[in-house]
Amino acid sequence: MLTHDKIALPEKLTPKEEAAMKAIWLAGEGNIQSFLDVMPPPSPPYTTLASTVKNLEKKHFVRGKLIGKVYLYSAIVSEETYKGDSIRAVVQDFFGQSYTDMLRFLLQNKEITEGDLKEVVATSSL
């Protein structure tokens, strides 16, 4: 199970929830319409996105606050945190917690090349 600030996170959001989170991360704090405005087409109906955001609020991924008559939402879980937790879960579940085995798999399946790996090492500040 993934954790963030002592809140248990689900290991994987649904595709609709991930699409909503991407819009929230991109827009920053905003209302449902502002999230729809930054979503690639075809965007979901307003009510579908509103329900999805409410579910994300229940899961502690976003927080909402009422300003006048409008709810504004912002991410609690950062994109970096979610990406990192998701990658760690994949490595744990499919590669026995071995990043080396994951990289070997990616190389064998031609998802990355040795040149890609060399470039990452050369441009990474460790």
The shares of helix, strand and coil residues in the chain, as percent rounded to the nearest 5, are 55, 15, 30
Strands (E), the chain: 2-4, 7-9, 62-67, 70-75
Based on the fold, state whether residues 9 and 43 are members of the same structural domain: yes
Q: Is residue 13 part of a domain?
A: yes
Based on the fold, state whether residues 68 and 106 are members of the same structural domain: no
Instruction: Assess contact for 70 and 21: CB atoms under 8 A.
Output: no
Which pLDDT score is estimated for 81?
94
Q: Is residue 111 part of a domain?
A: yes
Q: Is residue 102 part of a domain?
A: yes
Which pLDDT score is estimated for 12?
76
Under-50 pLDDT residues of the chain = 1, 5-7
Based on the fold, state whether residues 32 and 63 are members of the same structural domain: yes
Written as six digits, the tokens of 105 are 């798999």
HSE-CB at 105 with a 13 A cutoff on CA atoms is: 10
- The whole-model pTM stands at 0.81
Which pLDDT score is estimated for 11?
55
Q: Is residue 91 part of a domain?
A: no
Query: Which domain range does residue 106 map to?
Result: 98-126
Based on the fold, state whether residues 67 and 110 are members of the same structural domain: no
Which pLDDT score is estimated for 125?
75
Q: Is residue 115 part of a domain?
A: yes
Q: Count structural domains, the chain.
A: 2
Phi, psi angle pair for 3, to nearest 5°: -130, 150
Q: Is residue 112 part of a domain?
A: yes
Please choose, from the candidates 78, 77, 60, 70, the residue with its C-alpha nearest in 3D space to the C-alpha of residue 32: 70
Q: Is residue 83 part of a domain?
A: no
Which pLDDT score is estimated for 115?
93
